[in-house]
Amino acid sequence: MEITSRWRLIRHGPATGAYNMAVDEAVGRAVAEGAATPTLRFYAWAPPCISLGRHQALASVDTARCAALGYDVVRRPTGGRAILHTNELTYSIAARPEHPLMAGMVLDSYLRLSHGLVAGLQQLGIPAEEAPGTNRAGRDVSAACFEVPSAYEIVAGGRKLLGSAQTRRADYVLQHGSLPLTGDLSRLVDCLTFASEEEREALRLSLAERATTVEGITGRSVSLAEAAGALAAGFRSALNIELVESELSPAEQAWAEQLMHEKYLNAAWTNFR
């Protein structure tokens, strides 16, 4: 099969939420300027972190409770709802908007990239599939990302397994997503605000019924390295791309440090809603 594109593959260990978001944006900037090829990056989070969607109200998160639990809070550059990042593998993809995999509208690229995610998860023995393209988040949807799969997000055994979010700029597209490997997904509920405790417990039950983890499907522990390797293989085979192991350039590292301090650690960004 002919290779359609050569991509950069970056594997990072755990880092803070602010740094992870800053690196994603720095990579997008490098891709936009032609200083980097399209990039697939894998990473994790430490300490655990609540990430808010770009337009989600900060008031939906109990920041005092997060602090008491030792969780960071960061606002993503992408849309969607709150996620508790812990015991998970995160992927991010940055490419120019005219790249064949990114062409068209948001859902067009979502579907193409989901083919790679599904192929990777199947390498782990997971019967993954894309949610129907007709799925939409309603106005009454909760603040938790993993309660309901949106169009083309990944489900397994009828439950949401991998959630993604995307932002499209004039000169690059950034998509990232969260694959929970193990643990109790309802832990997020303790960090959200509710009108009543009844609403809190209802969401806790809903997440238990509608979302799952890699361990919940496979019945075994899957490491970050194994999960990243499987997803990388899925992207290679399903999207017909070549992945070349690499690292951040000095310019990207400098941009990431600047973005972390000036944007993602800045209360004006976190609290803007």
Length of the chain: 273
45 is a domain residue: yes
| pLDDT recorded at residue 148 | 52
* Residue-level pLDDT, tens digit, the chain, 273 residues: 345 689 999 999 999 999 999 999 999 999 999 999 999 999 999 999 999 999 999 999 999 999 999 999 999 999 888 999 999 999 999 999 999 999 988 899 999 999 999 999 999 999 999 988 765 454 444 445 454 566 788 999 989 999 999 999 999 999 999 999 999 999 999 999 998 999 999 999 988 889 999 999 999 999 999 999 999 999 999 999 999 999 999 999 999 999 999 999 999 999 976
Q: What is the pLDDT of residues 228-252, one digit of tens each?
A: 999 999 999 999 999 999 999 999 9
Q: Output the pLDDT for position 138.
A: 47
Question: Which of 94, 100, 114 lies closest to 231 in space, CA to CA?
Answer: 114
* 175 domain-assigned: yes
Reported in sequence order, the residue ranges of the chain that DSSP labels E, i.e. its strands, are 5-15, 39-45, 49-52, 72-75, 83-85, 88-95, 128-130, 154-156, 159-168, 173-180, 241-245
CA distance 22 to 253: 9
Residue pair 234/240 in contact by the 8 Å Cβ criterion: no
- Whole-prediction pTM value? 0.92
What pLDDT is recorded for position 134?
66
Structure tokens at 79: 């849309």
Residue 25, beta-bridge partner list? none
Active site residue 145: yes
Q: Give how far the C-alpha of residue 77 lies from the chain's centroid of Cα atoms, to the nearest Å.
A: 11
The mean predicted confidence, pLDDT, of the chain is 91
Question: What letters, b where the CB count within 10 A reaches 16 and e where it falls short, cover 78-111?
Answer: bebbbbbbbbbbbbbbbbbeebebbeeebeebbe
| DSSP state, residue 61 | B
Q: For the domain that residue 137 is a member of, what is the CATH number?
A: 3.30.930.10
Two structure tokens written together for 4: 């359609």
Please indicate, yes or no, if residue 272 is contained in any of the structural domains: no
Does residue 270 lie in a domain region? no
* Cβ atoms < 10 Å from Cβ of 145: 29
Among 151, 153, 140, residue whose Cα is nearest residue 202: 140
User: Does residue 271 lie in a domain region?
Assistant: no
**pLDDT at residue 272, rounded to an integer:** 76
Q: Phi/psi at 168 (nearest 5 deg)?
A: -115, 120
Which residues form the domain of 61? Answer: 5-265
Query: Is residue 230 in some structural domain?
Result: yes
Q: State pLDDT tens for residues 10-31.
A: 999 999 999 999 999 999 999 9
Give domain status of residue 131, yes or no: yes
- On whether residue 104 sits in a domain, the answer given is yes
Give residues with Cβ within 8 angstroms of 237, minimum separation 6. Answer: 119
pLDDT at residue 22, as a whole number: 98
Look up residue 36 and give its two tokens.
């980097």
Domain count, the chain: 1
State residue 149's pLDDT score. 60
SS3 133: coil
Question: Burial of 11 by CB count in 10 Å (0-12 exposed, 13-18 middle, 19+ buried)?
Answer: middle
